[in-house]
Structure 1
């Protein structure tokens, strides 16, 4: 009888462990699927809704294994390339299990020889909201700056 009780408890423990693995695997897959859908919302070419902007005019976001963003600024006679950098996905918590969604926004950092630019990007409905901060490091005496912009997908 003792053997049958031990076997029964072992079977119940094994069943419980397998159930937990299946549920967490399913939850993990759903989170990965949601993350891919959210990333898809960011991908593409975005243009500033303010056609007279003297700041960021266009962004190109790609996923080639690593998500990257290429930024262009207002220059004359044509826009100038600021550069390409990695786009970092930012969550509410370092604990994956406590995050309702895989990430809430993204951050890009361009560390150029004269300025460090830090850009926060967030898709909201059909728009990309950006907040860009520039911190000069060239001792030029220029003021550090920050601005916001609304981007729309360039179809």
Structure 2
């Protein structure tokens, strides 16, 4: 399976990438959103702010204690890339992700191989009312865990 196969945006979808850097995945998401007249929002945790030539709404987040702003049920997918292990309040980050996801939407967490315990992360996702958590080996050098926010389960949002 290739990484592109994890994403199936529909017209008007909104994806939210929360990350420490813009890279090939960010450009892929931007391209996919552009194809369906969707929107890519990027919350960027970065010390150096560089102008990016990417079609996305980029907000810069100060420090790993802060959280990005996102409205409830605003996004059809949340991608946490290289930020979950660094963030000082993982619970708040997962809660924000849950709240901003539409029902039946996915969260994807990407971290460099060996940085996180994927089994523990999958249990944590279950504890936060995400369902069907799976580890997928699709990106060289990265652990990827995907889960789904299910309608009428858990927190009820």
TM superposition score normalised by structure 2: 0.26
Higher strand share: 1
TM superposition score normalised by structure 1: 0.26
Higher helix share: 1
